[in-house]
Structure 1
Amino acid sequence: MKKSRLPSEVDFLAQIADLKKVDYKNTLILTALIDLLVEKELISRHDVIHKAQVLDAELENSISEKLTLPQH
C-alpha cells in the first residue's frame, strides 16, 4: 500500500502560512515603530532608509567575502 504524501504536504503548507503570518506581524510592528519614532521627531524616514541601505550593503559584502574565501 502506497503511503499518502497529502498529510505531510498539508503540514508543509500550514508551516508556510504560519511563516507568512509571522512575517506580516513583524513587518507591521516595524512599521508602527518607525512611524512612532518619526512622529516624535526622534528619527527621519531618510535616516531609516539610509541605515537600511548601509546594513544591506554590509550584509552583501559579508556574504560575498564568505563565498570568495578559498576552500581548504
Structure 2
Amino acid sequence: MKVHADRDRCIGAGLCALNAPSVFDQDDSGLVVVLDDSPSGAEAVDAHKLAEHICPSKAILVSEG
C-alpha cells in the first residue's frame, strides 16, 4: 500500500492525523505531512482508507502497491 497526500488540495482539517497518527501529521501551517508512505498491517490499512474517505478536500490517496 502507498499513501500520497496532495498538499495543494489540503485544507488542514486534520482528520487524517486524528485517524492515522502514525502515518499523518500536520506542519506548522496545518497542512498534511505523510510520515510513512508505505504502512503495513490490516489495522494500518483500515485507518488509512478511513483517512482517505473522510478527508473533506480529498487530498489523501491510498493505492495498492
TM-score bin, normalised by smaller chain? under 0.3
Larger fraction in helix = 1
Structure-1-length-normalised TM-score:
0.23
Select the structure with the greater relative contact order (CA < 8 A; seq sep ≥ 6).
2
